[in-house]
Structure 1
Amino acid sequence: MNLDPHQLTNYVNGFIKVLIDYSPKLISAFIILFVGLYVIRLINRFIRRLMIRRNLEPTLTKFLADILLWALRVLLFVTFISKLGIETSSFVAILGAMGLAVGLSLQGSLSNFAGGMLIILFKPFKVGNTIEAQGVIGTVSEIQIFVTKMITANNQTIFIPNGSLSNGTIINYSLLESRRADLTIAISYDTDIRKAKEVIMSVLKSNPKVLETPAPDVVVKSLTDTGIQLAVRPWAKNEDFWSVYSETYIECKNAFDKAEISIQPFVMELSKKESISGTTETNKG
């Protein structure tokens, strides 16, 4: 095909004219884009530093800063294409339709997202707390947008969806500084209850890890068919809780041996029930 030099010249001249006419918009649009990205970065840094100075939760700081960052980027992009002369109303409508479609397809994820926001804002627990939720006990190592990461006592990593976590019951063992241990020790009916309580109280008072306030307590929990159950309730700091739990049982056993007080084993009650059950079956036979 033969090209007419005159026609080619007209095309080139027309292209140059359009480029010259459109170049101010193009240059201004890219200036807005690059300056906007720089300003958004400065704003994001300023907001992060401001929230850190206000001692906000690190997870909440990162979460809010990321939301602000992407919101400003979307606003900048819309301004950029508008400066280029592209109609933004149809573009915004397309974004809205896409957002609705994505929202319907990710209902479960959005539920977890909302749950993560509730956890971060209302702070029922924070990183480092030991909690019990969804049948799991562990230490919170990370609060993410969709899941919460927990480490159990046997070093297993568990991820719990924030939607179910925020809607369920949460027991926070680390929220308060101290915690009460609820122990049960059984003695026989031949034992002097006052003497047994005095021995246990002396054990609790001699343990430096047991707090004086609130004061420890020993009360009669119940009278069973095989013995008397005493409820032993020492208070301890969170970091000393399991030490106090174990040491109380050990020291009470040693103190009972010295005082010649016998601990009533719970297995006797089970043996009695089995004996009664066997006798009943024999009578039926």
Structure 2
Amino acid sequence: MQLRNPVLFLAESTDLTVNAEEAVEKISTFNKILETKGPEVLSFAIRVLLVLVFFYIGHRLIGWVRKIVRGSMERGNIDTGACQFVDSLLKFGLHILLVLYLANELGIESTSTAAIIASGGMAVSLALQGSLSNLAGGMLILLLKPFVVGDYIMEDSHGNEGTVKEIQIFYTKLSTVDNKTIVIPNGTLANTSLTNFSDKEYLKLDLRVDISYDSDLLKAKALLYDILDKDEDVDKEREHIVFVHDLGESSVVLGVRAFVKTEKYWPTRWRLLETIKLTLDENGIEIPFAQLKVHMDK
């Protein structure tokens, strides 16, 4: 049996003793930190937990307040757009107040919060220039009422059009005829021209019909008059006329003008165009297409 070197055994024993002493020292240090800082850490953790609970409760209370305000405004027959705008404003404003209150409960002093808000105010205002413009635009829309929820509008800058479904604090939502949703910033709507098709009860329907120069003009006009007289959605109390609008390069352009109710505009337009095409075909009235005739000189 080979005996271990006494010197190596003593060195190993010394290392184990040092490591044990270091471990004991670290444990002792951790215990001291736990004894001194433990209550503070536990207290902070409890505050964080309470803040989360209060945030949940506050969020539910904000929803309850919004529901009461919406109900009151609906019972008072307030404009739908105004109801949506106020609801959106309450949602953002009350949540901001709730967050500031809970920050104060976490130990962030209100004076410090005010100083942070003041120092960052310039940066925030620059970053939110568009949002502030949209907020102001929403307020102008509610005050001046160029349109309300349910109106069919077209904004002229980009040609977006649709039925107004919501007027929120920053954006207005339009629903298109093909069931798409267009979200337009309120600042854009407040600072550009737009067309409100629903502002009047009746809209003027203007159609253009091309017939060939060889076709019977008077017969074509009589057929178009007959179509207008028989259509149930054309307002018979207002004048509807058929006239020669232009003498084109390859056709006589007839104008068809009538008035229809706003909500019936598109269905009536589509139906009349189809009826005009079928009727002219049945009566031998040619609708020419653009063409070029070349005559060869022998």
TM-score by length of 1: 0.65
Unaligned runs of 5+ in 2: 1-61
For the residues of structure 2 that align with 1:41 and 1:202, how far apart are their CA atoms? 58
Counterpart amino acid of 2:201?
E
The letter for the 2-side match of 1:142 is E
Deviations 1:84-121 (A, max 9, x none): xxx98897666444444321221111111111221222
Pair 1:251-2:285 in alignment? no
Shift in Å, 1:256 = 2.7
Deviations 1:241-268 (A, max 9, x none): 22221222232234334443x2232323
Q: Which runs of 5+ in 1 are unaligned?
A: 1-39, 82-86, 280-285
Which of structures 1 and 2 has the bigger CA Rg? 2
> Percent same amino acid among aligned pairs?
38
* C-alpha separation in 1, matches of 2:83 and 2:180: 28
1:241: which partner in 2?
A: 265
Counterpart for residue 106 of structure 1: 128
Q: How does 1:4-15 map to 2 (within 5 A)?
A: none
Structure 1 residue matching 2:286: 3-state secondary structure: coil
Q: In 2, distance between residues paired with 1:146 and 1:267?
A: 48
CA contact (8 A) 1:126 1:140 kept: yes
Name the residue aligned to 1:55: 77
Q: Distance in 2 between matches of 1:137 and 1:41?
A: 32
CA distance in structure 1 between the aligned counterparts of 2:70 and 2:238, rounded to whole angstroms = 41
Secondary structure of the 1:213 match is: coil
Tell whether the 8 Å contact from 1:140 to 1:151 is kept in structure 2 after alignment: yes
Q: Deviations over 1:7-34 (max 9, x none)?
A: xxxxxxxxxxxxxxxxxxxxxxxxxxxx
Change (3 A) 1:41 1:266: closer
Q: Is the 8 A contact 1:185 1:263 kept in 2?
A: no
Is 1:148–1:162's contact at 8 Å kept on the other side of the alignment? yes
C-alpha contact (below 8 Å) 1:220/1:228 kept by paired residues: yes
Show CA shifts across 1:221-258 (max 9, x none): 10012121001122222332222212222322343344
Contact 1:180 1:235 in 2 (8 A): yes
DSSP 3-state at the match of 2:256? strand
CA distance in 2: counterparts of 1:151 and 1:43, whole angstroms: 29
For the residues of structure 1 that align with 2:275 and 2:255, how far apart are their CA atoms? 16
Paired residues of 1:130 and 1:173 also in contact (CA < 8 A): yes
Number of aligned residue pairs: give it: 232
- In structure 2, what is the Cα distance between the partners aligned to 1:187 and 1:45? 60
* Among 224, 231, 247, the residue aligned to 1:200: 224
Deviations 1:162-191 (A, max 9, x none): 112221121122222222222111122233
Please say if 1:118 is aligned against 2:136. Answer: no
